[in-house]
Chain A
């Protein structure tokens, strides 16, 4: 697989020896110190702080964390889909070397759907109810390629077949409400992949679906990613899905990246107490025992963030040194963690 190229930008004072300049230029997507704040009547509300990570071509990366950790807004900020009047972005979003954060609206439109596509949590509300699925898929193609309606329709039918929808010629002329939830998400995937983008952002694509359909969609995404070489940024709170689908896992907590590591490493030996807590509270991955462990407390709200380590109030390993602001530190060529006690403590993982 493609080497996980990670660059850590959040610690200008702690420039680590493992970061090489070549790693950054090889990356398809290189996010550097991306921060986002929403403007509200009570002032600016910081949502994500100096998030840095990268995705190599064809790589499948999972972003995990509880609700309210900033996973979804991170995905939306990459495509600049947040309302421009209220969302203030800073930092760099380098996509194939171009900084998306500085592009004009017109240039950004040319990237959306063409080079970087996105699918969403609820396929029913994400599709337009008064247009047929064929029209909606074809339109995504016509937005970037000069073809007529007839050819766009043929491409839409082919795309529907590609995502495993039976009788695509018939389904093409149906409306979203005539399809099942799983079918609708397949339509979303067909629409997102019709221009053969280099990166697909999947924002909790299985959360709103039946359990039986969830694994079909996950399998489909992995298969399509492998076959077409489209990189996948899989945003989910389901660590089991990440374990099955992705090669690297980024843990987010309270708007920050707290751990970034290959999936195999992190499942066995997580280095951040939060990742460890997430892994242990997973029924399918945790050891069989009567009580499922959980992380006490909840994610702090954006206007009440702890000054030091943001996880410290919920962390059983918290010490004096956690009271200062933490930075992402490389532990190895592919493993980084934002925990000052990472070297001292040994954390339980999911796989022993």
Chain B
């Protein structure tokens, strides 16, 4: 035994004597994880969060979240002598005087965008593959919580520097708060410590941005990962993979190296972006003042859909019993997002209600094999995309020399028309893909080889696909829609008939499938 082994052994023994960790460690170092590129999306979100913590901590050493008025005398000549808040001045100092400061600011901002983007794409992966099904409904809700908080955290973050662009964002957030019926005015005065903009808001959101929300994030991410660990990861269908096993590689050494390495790759790519790609050049905007605005004011992309909805809202502001109800703000700013996020959080339960399926699922769906769900997902994405495009309607109008009014009308109509259209098209596409799978299993792969028959007819030679591929294309379950009794055995109609009729219609729509080929079909073809 070498000296090094002896020392390591002694340390391990010392720790195990006091914690009994060896048994647990042995088991978990051998933990098996399935391999697929799409499982790295959540990893990117996790690593971006760590990068955000590291780069954010660096920034707090120099950032001064104070609205104290100072006259700038720093290195950036165009703003010398300009009155501004200490917050903005310190953001300029970080950018121009602290070595590595601008790099860290840009890494922080880029990783925030990557964090949000990877959360959204990860969520899409989980949704379209049905990974949210039992037993993972709770983790789905945690994920929706993280997405929602991420949007808030990102908004607060880019609001801190108190430049003209971010101040405009706060102005809009203030208007949304103030539009809340009954308590809005009081709430706005409470949060802002008086009138807009005041001097209290930025120091307050600083506390929220660097302490409260990161703390909540840490707690939620920990639970999210512990559940993944404990429930074991889902896996894609394939030969040898069942609901009862996990096929993959063990944590030690494969995933230690791969996941650890991947952290450095994500960090490296983010640092590269921070080095070469300018983001939020806040020295160009100047300090915030409520009397000015930059043309083409845009929020970061994950807020863009919200801004797009606000832009397309109709000018509705009824006065009811002498009180003003700002529907033009409330509908796009609070009601629609509220419906979207609640609907997302509840989706696993809605689908369970429709299918009546209470079993555990660990094998992922191929999106085409769940046409209704896939179509719903694409429908929601289309809605978001129209909203997001309208959030940049001024930039689109400028770039493509279009009329902003026409883009707005396109969005106003499109937001109602395009999502249902997307639903129909996607569902048809999924069913067509199922049909193509069926053809492939029954008739084999087209080889591109043409043969002339004695009769003079040309036919293409088909080759049977491998047993592995045939299994992949047919392993999924195809269940008949949930049977619901409309009347009990004495012929009396059940209560809640409308609800059960609705459920039945959903169940039928959800179960629409192209029948998958069976051995019987294969044999029948062989007989011909």
Mutual binders A and B: no
